[in-house]
Structure 1
């Protein structure tokens, strides 16, 4: 594990999620952007260390995939932890923006085709 954890520390993912295998909320993707709403809790229920680490990481917007990489945890576990934080009102989650174009960029497609042809 990274981020200052002691070497050799092994925590099973089901321990971090309380035995849950699915998030309580759907909608998180690898590129969903997460931002902490209140990164420094005052007198709330004592969060798990992983929740606290997520809140610190997300002081600035960060994608789910990057959070998982920095925590060195499976994405499925991170999504469950993020669902907890979202339900508690501690984070906001923004899905990726869809491109407004409805037609493909023909110039770009031509360049891609030409590039592939040169391979």
Structure 2
């Protein structure tokens, strides 16, 4: 069951990575239009990072294992590494703009914290009272 949840959540991480990568492309497309667009872009990046952290935590919680969060993070990072590669025309998917670096490094930090915080500890045994009052 652990392997199956890891595989399913890796595919989910791939899907979220593709969607957030292309959403980030729209944010960086409007980055050069002025200070207002940059503020909105940074707010969008922060919102994406909060959602990414939450999804990573939910993956760990839903699978009841830290491997679920790791599977989600592995799928997401795999897509980000592919998107950093060069296209046939020589262009890269993520341009060299500040907002892209904030997104890339921020997403890695959000995933790392999400994986570490998704550690599921066994429940503490409740003390039993022996003897009647």
Task: Normalising by structure 2, report the TM-score.
Answer: 0.25
Tell me the TM-score normalised to structure 1 length: 0.27
The structure carrying a bigger strand percent of its residues is 1
